[in-house]
Each structure stands twice: as C-alpha cells, then as structure tokens.
Amino acid sequence: MDVFWYALVGLLLTGYLVLESIDFGVGMLIPLADTEAGRVRLRRTIVPLFLVNEVWLVAFGGLLFGALPLLEGELLHAQRTPVVVLLCAWFLRDAALWFRHASPGTAWRRAWDAVLPVTSLVLAAGWGIVLATLVRGLSTGDNGRADATAGDIFHPFSLLCAALVVVAGLRQGALFAGRGLPEGDALRARLDRTAKVLTPVLAGLLLVTAAVGAAVTDSPVTVGVVTAVAAVCVYASHLARGAGRTVPALLLGGVPLLALPVMVGFAHGSTVLATRSGAGDLALSRAIADDASLTLLSATVLPTLVAVALGQVWIWREFGRPAVRPAFTEA
C-alpha cells in the first residue's frame, strides 16, 4: 500500500503538469497575437480551464501532506527557493488572467499581457528544474538534510529539463489554441508554424536529455527508456497532427510532460528523496503516514478524487472543445 499512495501522489502531480502545460504554452504564445482581438481569443482558450487544471496541484499538495507528511516537509525544505519562485509566478500568472480586463486602459492590458508570458515561462521552466533535481539527486546541506543548491538548479541536466518542459508546453499550447481558430486566420497560421517548428526541437531535446541524463544520473536505463518512449510519441503526435487529428496529437504530445515525473518515481527505487551522497536520503517506509491516517484517507480522499476526476472530464468536454468564432474587438 505504501507504493500505491506514493504512486497516487505522483499521478496527481503528473495530471497537473500535463494539463497545465497547455495553459503555460498558451500564456507564452500571447506575443504571437498582434491584435487585441487575437490576444483576447488566445486568452479565452484557457480561462475556463486553468483553475480546473490547478485542482490537480491542490490535490497533490493535500495528499502529499496526508499520505507522506515527512516527505512534504523535507521536500519543501530542500526545494524552498524554487518553490517560492513557483508560487510567486503562479499568483502573478493567475492575476494576469483575472485582472487584464479589470480596467479599460490600454497600458493596463499591455502590462498584464507582458506579465502572462513571462510568468508562464517561469512556471514551465521551474517545474522542469524541480523535477530534474529530484531525478539527479540533491546535494546534502551542512545539517545532513537534502538541499537543492544553485549547482543543482543550474546544472546542465536541470536546464535541459527546463527547456524540455517549456518547448513541450509551447507545442501543446500552439496545438490547443490553433484548433479553435478559423481556417486562413493569420494567428492560426502562426500557431501552426510554431507547432511544426517545435516538433523536431522537442524530439532533439529528448535525445540530448537522454544522453546527458545517462551520464549524470544513477539510472541511465530509466532515463533512456522514458525519453525514448516520449520521442516516439512526439513523432506519432506529428503524424496525427498531419492527419488533422488534433485530440490524439495533443494526447501523444503530452507524453514528454510525463517523462520527468515518471523518472522521479523510478530513478531511485524506494528512496523518495535522494541525495547524491546518500546522507540525506528519505526512504518510502519512513515517509509514509501511519496506518490510521491511511485508513482515513482511503475512506475520504479516494472517493473525492474519483468525483473530482469525473468532474474534470465533464468540464473539459464542455469547455475544452474548439469554438471557432470570428474576430472581435472589446469595448
């Protein structure tokens, strides 16, 4: 049962990263829209969905606290700097989506239009770095606890994984936003070209990440297999996109976003927080909550998660469909 709870926590984080990557991508692509109408149309593709996607992150944090309380404390301590940056970017990104139309002034809107792509980029890159440091293993602080140092954060493998999440998010965002725009639309053409250019870039990043990961981690087989599967899925996504099948293209294009959480889960076996020295390692058997807490979680959290998942499916079916609308200008 320990593995079940650890896997469920990882599944919630993976769900957040895969779905929210679309929001990251669309946010980063806002500069491609050179008209007010285009910016409004891009923004509206994610406004109904970004809060729904964030439910996965809230559920991840709650279940991490309930099922793996010691891991949450050690993880927040080790990743305190990246976590603070991610939280600030998260709040500003949501503010950019909520507050853009709070004032009719052009300067006000342009300011939030500048905040949105920057914070979306920080969020995508930040999650790539956090997960990469966990795959590679953290440094050990003077107190013997795991610690993500500047060397861990700016290590080439971490930067590669940051670029991987950014490029995958951009491609997902371009595919998702472009499908709701009319044929012949200039913005749709720019989004289509962006997705086409990013496909080989993403595949190349996966190959380079596999090579570097095999050299700097203790799990070269895990890194190699996961990235190879992701690269194949990128190629399959390209074929599906060429055949006009956008939904399969999006599903397959989301696989590279699965790669890093899967690597975290399999890279260190039963060690849920690994250090390169081994001094600050945290084993799953130590991190898991007591039996009484897990029993309570089984009775309360599991049914709630099922209901949330069903609700998410309904919301995506209702608000995630492409709705082609003519361009318009807000008053």
- Assign 172 a pLDDT band (cuts: 50, 70, 90): very high
Flag whether pLDDT at 10 surpasses 80: yes
In tens, the pLDDT along 252-269 reads: 999 999 999 999 999 998
User: Which structure tokens are listed for 86?
Assistant: 């991610």
Q: For 88-98, what is each residue's pLDDT tens digit? A: 999 999 999 99
Q: How confident is the model at residue 161 (pLDDT cuts 50, 70, 90)?
A: very high
What are the tens digits of pLDDT across the range 30-52?
A: 999 988 888 888 988 888 788 88
CB 218 within 8 A of CB 143: no
- The predicted model gives 297-324 an average pLDDT of 83
Average pLDDT over residues 212-241: 92
Residue 45's contacts (CB-CB under 8 Å, 6 or more residues apart) are 26, 176, 177, 180
What's the whole-model pTM score?
0.92
The pLDDT of residue 111 is 93
Does 320 have pLDDT greater than 80? no
Residue 73 pLDDT more than 70?
A: yes
- Look up residue 326 and give its two tokens: 């003519």
* Sign of the Cα pseudo-torsion (270, 272, 273, 276, in order): positive
Q: Residues 132, 160: contact at Cβ < 8 Å? A: yes
DSSP 214-262: HHHSS-HHHHHHHHHHHHHHHHHHHHHHHTT-HHHHHHHHTHHHHHHHH
Contact present, 45 and 26 (Cβ < 8 Å): yes
Give the type of residue at 114: A
| DSSP3 helix / strand / coil % (the chain, rounded to 5) | 75, 5, 20
Q: Pick the more confident residue, 188 or 327.
A: 188
Beta strands in the chain, from DSSP E residues, in sequence order: 139-140, 146-147, 271-273, 282-283
Domain 2-319, CATH: 1.20.1630.10
Indicate the domain borders of the chain: 2-319
Split at pLDDT 50, 70, 90, the class of 323 is low
Alpha carbon distance 309, 268 (integer Å): 29
How far is Cα 301 from Cα 8, in angstroms, rounded to an integer?
A: 11
